Structure 1
Amino acid sequence: MIWDEKIECMSKEDMEELQLKRLQDVVTTAYNKVPYYHKRYTEKEIYPEDIETLADIEKLPFTTKTDLRESYPFGLFAVEQKDIIEIHTSSGTTGKPTVSGYTKEDLDIWGEVIARGLTMMGVDENDIIQNTHGYGLFTGGFGVHYGGQKVGATVVPISTGQTLRQIEIMKDFKTSVLIFTPSYGLHIAEELDEMGIKPSDLNLKVIGFGSESWTDAMRKQIEDKFQIPAYNIYGLTEVMGPGVAMECSQQDGLHLSEDHFYPEIIDPRTLKQVPENTQGELVLTTLTRVGMPLIRFRTRDVTKIHHEKCGCGRTLVKMDRITGRTDDMLKIKGVSVFPSQIEKALLSIDGVEPHYQIILTRPDVLDKIEVKVEASPEIFFDNVKELVGIRDKLAQAIHDEIGLRVNVTLVEPKTIDRVDSGKAVRVIDNRNK
């Protein structure tokens, strides 16, 4: 089933015609109504009439998180404050938060793109969605909430935490759709296992997950533990929230709602666009957002995009899952390392759990890397010799993946902190402390 066949199966030529018209409109709006953009474009002698083709988007400067923070709180709004009916923000853990304002039209669009994705996952009006994403200023909970209501499903806005209560609700309400971050989903699975509750005891049929980096091995762990398919959801607070792109039944990339969000992939060093199917940094332009248009926003997320008719029948551009971020890339002994590379190596070895931490120190002039990972209970408590073998295998697998030697420490099950209220902390960088 397809939510909006006209858009989701539109030809590339027709989509580009629609995108150009919307791009011209949003640049005109930003120039006329957002002082930040008016100033930037005037300084660079760029005007709305200069956008004659989609390729002309490269004439426009990028927007970054720094720009959003400097415009805090409402400096990027294109409408009067009375027309903004909802506000969300980022966490603000590294400075001022970024603010995202929504008009009624914006909330309708947000619900629309999530509704498309939920339909891709097989969700309809008969489903009960248990939404463990956080509500409040975080966008995660609300996007799924609005989209779930739009498709007519019943939404249980339980938010994150209270894991035993989550399980009780799953059983009593006969939840059919479960939404979570990968790390929190694995935490729920642990609790289910400890309580002796099997997947067959529940009514779950599908999982939607996002808001955190993950690997194919982690998805496999989730699907194995719950015995149902798990689909990726992508989004970010600054652009809209979850639902910018969502995965269909093929599970080989996410369909990006390119009628609302125009994607580019750039080389983060040269800042130039790269050819299709080439990995780089995702840049997004909101084409229909009313309250707070963003033009050429640098997401810092590393992916690639490609056009082809999907096995599900949709023609919307597809993006690969995010494999890292240009701003959380670690420089270790001069080598660029993404935490996802270490996770991939860890999950390739049997006998360990998908709970780990990467700890970086600099005791003298050289970086030291320790990777703590939980051994599975049967191995940790029963076979010391096998532990040594697994530790050595893990160290070799990580070396093969990143080209650096690391110290691997196998720890007792359940000794690495579980985050019962959101995303797991995977990296602890103590090099500058």
Structure 2
Amino acid sequence: MIPDIEKASSAEIKAFQEGQLQTLLNYLSTHSAFYKRLFETENIDINQLKTLEDLASIPTTTKEDLQQFNDDFICVPRHKIIDYVTTSGTLGEPVTFALTDNDLKRLAHNEAISFACAGVKQEDVIQLMTTIDRRFMAGLAYFLGARELGAGIIRVGNGIPELQWDSIKKFKPTYIIAVPSFLLKLIEHAEKQGIDLNASSVKGAICIGESLREQDFSLNILSKKIKEKWDINLFSTYASTEMNTAFTECEAQQGGHHHPELIIIEILDENNQPVAPNESGELTITTLGVEGMPLLRFKTGDIVKAHHDPCSCGRNTTRLGPVIGRKKQMIKYKGTTLYPPAMHNILNDFNEIESYIIEISHNSIGTDEILLKIATTNPTDLFLRRIKDHFRAKLRVLPKIEFCDRKEIQKIQFPKMSRKPLMVIDRRA
């Protein structure tokens, strides 16, 4: 189930996207109060924008724009809105997105071809271990995508390892969708209950929310810990509410594939210029085929690297490597530039660590400070020294570390109405 455009040449893909861009610009100039105002203020003649390179003449859109002018981005009358979703608000106020019936069909198509990318077929059964309620787009997208593909889906929701295993035994899913660290909890429960992990029906996991790989696509520590116990295929998928689109690994597992019929991507530097080949930058997206709330040159805040070499799966599309970090969560610490995922990778290496929070703040002289709050089964000076040695060896810097009660950390991680755990608390102004 590979769309023809994804097997086309780079030149054909570019020509296709330029045609779709024309359609989008005309739609925005007619229906979007925000973009209509932007085109007028910046004296942009959309009829002069013919190529993907011409996008550079349009100012980028930011999360702050969405927060400040949320309703001005909505392009349809209220009676056309079928579903409302909101962003998680990890880095600021949540933003509401309005989806039409066509948007839901597009979302289903996106997830169906993304599932197919990971090898899911019509005869497969998928167990969904994320929430489908609380205005959460991802869970809805997975459900709609499974229906579009014709695969079965079991809506268990997040958490509760006992219920997850009961459902696996009863319904025999072949794929599961989960946050990777939750797979460790499933493994722990199985071992305690004498469940033979590798005798289960599950052959693959589509993982969200946490990275599975290093930048060279080798397994990171979290993935290795899963694979040591449970011999299943792990597929990474990356998406956001703003994109209405997913980048999912194929069976070659060399990055998440771009769907050019659904989204235009740019990787930009600090000056909003395209980065050089093999350089990382901020993923900036333009949605195609979205009715309710399309976006033009929206800066996602995610730092990524694009890969353009041919893939063995037959797709000729760009692939995105693992997210290096959120731009706003970049930390300048003792002369070193860090992103939280690098610290996640180190902390995940210790079985004795039950949970943790990374707190970032400014000290009295205005420079960045890092405090790691860790809940552990081994709160000893010796174990603390092991963690510190690991940080010095891997990152060459040592954050402040304190041991905390597990319940205290869980209270911070799961604030009221939270849809996913908070792993990073940024207290910088």
TM exceeding 0.5: yes
Contact 1:356–1:416 at 8 Å: present in 2 too?
A: yes
Aligned-partner SS, 1:343? helix
Aligned to 2:64: 66
Judging changes above 3 Å, is the alpha-carbon distance between structure 1 residues 205 and 354 closer, same or farther for their aligned structure 2 residues? farther
Q: CA deviation at 1:357?
A: 2.9
Task: Indicate which of 87, 90, 109 corresponds to 2:87.
Answer: 90
Aligned-partner SS, 1:304? strand
- Determine what percentage of the aligned residue pairs are the same residue: 27
| CA deviation vs aligned residue, 1:20-42 (integer Å, no higher than 9, x gap) | 00011101111111111011111
Aligned to 1:358: 358
Letter in 2 for 1:272: Q
Letter in 1 for 2:339: F
| CA deviation vs aligned residue, 1:274-325 (integer Å, no higher than 9, x gap) | 1232101000001221222100010000101122220111111111011101
| CA deviation vs aligned residue, 1:377-405 (integer Å, no higher than 9, x gap) | 7xx49xx7xx72x6434323323444322
Judging changes above 3 Å, is the alpha-carbon distance between structure 1 residues 368 and 244 closer, same or farther for their aligned structure 2 residues? closer
Aligned to 1:36: 34
Q: CA deviation at 1:422?
A: 4.8
Instruction: Name the CA distance, whole Å, in 2 between partners of 1:158 and 1:317.
Output: 33
Task: Indicate which of 159, 180, 183 corresponds to 1:182.
Answer: 180
Aligned-partner SS, 2:328? coil
Aligned-partner SS, 1:284? strand
Task: Indicate which of 99, 102, 106 corresponds to 1:105.
Answer: 102
Contact 2:110–2:246 at 8 Å: present in 1 too?
A: yes
Letter in 2 for 1:395: K
| CA deviation vs aligned residue, 1:252-290 (integer Å, no higher than 9, x gap) | 2110112211000001x2121112321010000012212
Query: More displaced, 5-14 or 350-359?
Result: 350-359
Unaligned segments of structure 2, at least 5 residues: 214-219
Contact 1:182–1:209 at 8 Å: present in 2 too?
A: yes
Contact 1:184–1:422 at 8 Å: present in 2 too?
A: no
Contact 1:222–1:230 at 8 Å: present in 2 too?
A: no
Aligned to 2:392: 399
Contact 2:361–2:368 at 8 Å: present in 1 too?
A: yes
Instruction: Name the CA distance, whole Å, in 2 between partners of 1:431 and 1:15.
Output: 42
Q: CA deviation at 1:370?
A: 4.0
Query: More displaced, 19-28 or 159-168?
Result: 159-168
Instruction: Name the CA distance, whole Å, in 1 between partners of 2:394 and 2:400.
Output: 14
Instruction: Name the CA distance, whole Å, in 2 between partners of 1:36 and 1:357.
Output: 37
Aligned to 2:73: 76
Judging changes above 3 Å, is the alpha-carbon distance between structure 1 residues 402 and 125 closer, same or farther for their aligned structure 2 residues? same
Aligned to 2:111: 114
Contact 1:131–1:180 at 8 Å: present in 2 too?
A: yes
1:162-311 to 2 correspondence within 5 Å? 162-213=160-211, 215=213, 216-240=220-244, 243-267=245-269, 269-311=270-312
Task: Indicate which of 390, 411, 421 corresponds to 1:424.
Answer: 421
Instruction: Name the CA distance, whole Å, in 1 between partners of 2:406 and 2:89.
Output: 32
Judging changes above 3 Å, is the alpha-carbon distance between structure 1 residues 173 and 414 closer, same or farther for their aligned structure 2 residues? farther
Letter in 1 for 2:104: L
Aligned to 1:128: 125
Aligned-partner SS, 1:294? coil
Aligned residues: 417
Instruction: Name the CA distance, whole Å, in 2 between partners of 1:414 and 1:205.
Output: 34
Task: Indicate which of 148, 152, 155 corresponds to 1:154.
Answer: 152
Aligned-partner SS, 1:327? helix
Q: CA deviation at 1:147?
A: 1.0
- Compute the RMSD of aligned alpha carbons: 2.8
Contact 1:88–1:99 at 8 Å: present in 2 too?
A: yes
Contact 1:127–1:153 at 8 Å: present in 2 too?
A: yes
Instruction: Name the CA distance, whole Å, in 2 between partners of 1:234 and 1:192.
Output: 28
Judging changes above 3 Å, is the alpha-carbon distance between structure 1 residues 351 and 187 closer, same or farther for their aligned structure 2 residues? closer
Contact 2:6–2:260 at 8 Å: present in 1 too?
A: no
Q: CA deviation at 1:54?
A: 1.2
Unaligned segments of structure 1, at least 5 residues: none
Instruction: Name the CA distance, whole Å, in 1 between partners of 2:196 and 2:410.
Output: 24
Contact 1:361–1:369 at 8 Å: present in 2 too?
A: yes
Instruction: Name the CA distance, whole Å, in 1 between partners of 2:301 and 2:136.
Output: 19
Instruction: Name the CA distance, whole Å, in 2 between partners of 1:190 and 1:97.
Output: 34
Contact 1:214–1:340 at 8 Å: present in 2 too?
A: no
Contact 1:303–1:323 at 8 Å: present in 2 too?
A: yes
Contact 1:128–1:156 at 8 Å: present in 2 too?
A: yes
Instruction: Name the CA distance, whole Å, in 1 between partners of 2:232 and 2:112.
Output: 20
Q: CA deviation at 1:105?
A: 2.0
Query: More displaced, 227-236 or 75-84?
Result: 75-84
1:40-55 to 2 correspondence within 5 Å? 40-55=38-53
Q: CA deviation at 1:114?
A: 1.3
Q: CA deviation at 1:351?
A: 5.4
